[in-house]
Structure 1
Amino acid sequence: MRHSIVIVDDHILIAKALASIMSNFENFDILYDCGNGKELQDKFSYKKNIPSIVLLDISMPIMDGFATSKWLREEHPQVLVLALSMQDDEKSLIRMIKNGARGYLLKNAAPTELESALKTITNNGYYYPDWASSIVFSNIANPPVDELPVEIPLELNDREIEFLILCTTDLSYKDISEKMLCSPRTIEDYKNRLCEKLTIKSRVGLAVFAVKSGFV
């Protein structure tokens, strides 16, 4: 299956370089590039311009990556957002995740990591390198006290919520089954059911959902 990509970056040379690199990736096609989120909004007026993935720079004039990712989450939730940044900034990472970004990549990443990120985000729904995953789980353990939970899109029962919260810990699935006093098979059923309900494909994705939804 082929996936279309749009690059949103105000640095023309970087955008063109990224397009050149990704043109060699199997099953990925570059549609076009934009200089900021407002240009992307204008392009999205035409259905043919809506891609599978938006490779989104954070620091841009007029409409930055934060505002753009939030708009995409609200208006085009089917589009996968892979954020790009010059720095491993914790606040930017968490904010982009909460605005709907499905992945985060530093601009100094090797082309092989970029290709891996694109494949992972299309196959699993999320991509976070090791350093980003550490920040995500640290934020889960110590959430800001002034944050309000987002609206839950559907009903979850008490046991599903309990499992979802335990997914944010470092417990193995076997440990979770012992803590919840049920079999590993039941835990697998909870995982599969939640992944299906929430359209999520990994434990990291479930953990991120738990944070964004205010369960932890």
Structure 2
Amino acid sequence: MHTSTFTGPVQIAIIDNHTLFRQGMISLLGDFKEINILFDAENGEDMISKLKKTSLPDIILMDITMPVMDGYAATAWLRENHPTVKVLALSMSDDDKPIINMLKNGAVGYMLKESKIRDVVYAMQTIQKHGFYLNELVSGKLLYTMQNKNTPVDKSKELTSNELTFLKLSCSELTYRQIADEMNLSPHTIDNYRESLFQKFGLKSRTGMVLFAIKNQIITV
């Protein structure tokens, strides 16, 4: 029996509708013995049919915008049918909305498509080890909180009711200005709530807040 210290290559799959991008990733990742590519697919539907013919990957690199079955639907399907498979979202931009939606559908991190291949490998190794990849989203303080799942703390109790409302609205598609209107508060007050949450929980971005809210079950997805 293997000891827990032994870890073989991370078994992965690449789902993206651009053939050249998939082939490029396969070629680049082929240089890393830490990674083994089980298969690639052009959309979520193609992924589902290929999953029936192969062993489950540890991690799937998932494009967001794809025809037939996009990254949101494919990630939600995996969470429902194969919850052990982790999804690392691949995004063309660091726009909040698609990344937030991918996290809410079950992704455990995201990478920009322009990232260096070594950073993608590091992200997958981090997911394999910790279950999620936070990159610049949040600080080590949140990483520590998430890893200590055996000591559940109701984080919502550390928030004022307005901070809690702000946090929940930040997990929507509303802009900060629209959140201010929704809460009948000034944009300056909203900025203060955001900074307070960032400081209190070691967050660094809106996407980090969403990940925090999901992990601590402050919002249900």
- What TM-score bracket applies, with the shorter chain setting the length? 0.5 to 0.7
* In structure 2, C-alpha distance between the alignment counterparts of 1:60 and 1:8, rounded to whole Å: 9
Superposition deviation, residue 115 in structure 1: 1.4
Counterpart in the other structure of 2:205 = none
Query: What displacement does 1:43 show?
Result: 1.2
Which range moves more in the overlay, 112-121 or 67-76?
A: 112-121
The count of residues paired between Structure 1 and Structure 2 equals 160
Say whether 1:15 aligns with 2:27.
no
Displacement, 1:213?
Answer: 4.7
Equivalent in the alignment of 1:118:
124
Q: 1:87 and 1:49, CA in 2 relative to 1: closer, same or farther beyond 3 A?
A: same
The alignment partner of 1:30 has SS state of strand
Match in the other structure for 1:92: 98
SS of equivalent residue, structure 1 residue 143: helix
* Separation in 1, partners of 2:14, 2:164: 29
Q: Percentage identity across aligned positions? A: 36
Query: Does the CA contact (< 8 Å) of 1:3 and 1:53 recur in 2?
Result: yes
Tell me how far 1:146 sits from its aligned partner.
9.4
Aligned to 1:186: none
The answer to whether the 8 Å contact 2:167/2:213 transfers is: no
Match of 1:144 in 2: 169
Specify the alignment match of 1:187 in structure 2.
Answer: none
| Matching of residue 40 in structure 1 with residue 47 in structure 2 | yes
1:103 is aligned, of 109, 113, 116, to 109
Q: Is the 8 A contact 1:87 1:106 kept in 2?
A: yes
Could you say what the CA RMSD is over the residues aligned between the two structures, in angstroms?
A: 3.0
- Name 2:192's counterpart in structure 1: none
1:79 equivalent in alignment to 2:67? no
Deviations 1:20-50, CA, capped at 9 Å, x for gaps: 111122321011110000001111223x342
Gaps of at least 5 residues in structure 2 are 1-6, 143-162, 173-196, 203-209
Q: Is the 8 A contact 1:69 1:99 kept in 2?
A: yes
Query: Would the aligned equivalents of 1:37 and 1:68 in 2 still touch at CA under 8 Å?
Result: yes
In 1, the alpha carbon distance for the partners of 2:171 and 2:20 equals 40
Contact 1:53 1:81 in 2 (8 A): yes
Matched to 1:170, the amino acid is Q
Within the alignment, does 1:214 sit opposite 2:219 as a pair? yes
Given that 1:36 and 1:60 are in contact with CA atoms closer than 8 Å, whether structure 2 keeps it comes out as yes
Residues 50 and 92 of structure 1: CA distance in aligned 2, closer, same or farther (over 3 Å): same
The SS at the match of 1:142 is: helix
- SS at the partner of 2:27? helix
Contact 1:5 1:31 in 2 (8 A): yes
1:3 Cα offset (Å):
1.7
Cα deviation, 1:71-107, whole Å, max 9, x if unaligned, reads 0011100001000010111011111111110110000
* TM-score for both structures, normalised by structure 2: 0.64
**TM-score of the superposition, structure 1-length normalised?**
0.65
Runs of 4 or more, structure 1, over 3 Å off, are 137-141, 168-173, 204-208
**3-state DSSP of counterpart to 2:168:** coil
